[in-house]
Structure 1
Amino acid sequence: MMENPMKPICGAHARTTGNPCQKQPLDNGRCRLHGGLSTGRPPTHGFYTKEAIANRARLRDLIKGINAMICK
């Protein structure tokens, strides 16, 4: 059975041979062996939450205001 040569390949680097993976991705676009196309679980806590970003912005504005009052 001849596979479609225009279909993209995985291309993941193999540590043992040093050659790229030649497997074609599944219908969902992921390689059967290497996965891919996943950015992982979105952050639900920590540095990048909306609340943390808003807190940093509020503190940044407070510091700017204090510096403006001191430097007059």
Structure 2
Amino acid sequence: TAAALEEITSNIRNNTQNIAKMSNLSTEVTRSSKLGEELANKTTIAMDEINTQVNLVNEAISIIDQIAFQTNILSLNAAV
């Protein structure tokens, strides 16, 4: 009947609209996922750089500590 055909047409129209919405959401999720991956990669690179800088600071502290130790030894020798 015409009413049944109209209902089927309406359901198909609604399904088509829902599919379009889901496609848009899927595209947005994909875009967000790629952005998240890029940010994670940048964070990893930044953390590696921080780690490198921390190692350099630790080396500098070690050298300063050695100089301080040698200075203390010289001071003790001078006091004797």
TM-score grouping bracket, smaller chain normalisation: 0.3 to 0.5
| TM-score for the superposition, normalised by structure 1 | 0.36
Greater RCO (Cα-Cα under 8 Å, separation 6 or more): 1
| TM-score for the superposition, normalised by structure 2 | 0.33
Structure (1/2) with the larger helix percentage: 2
Question: Which structure has the larger Rg over C-alpha atoms?
Answer: 2
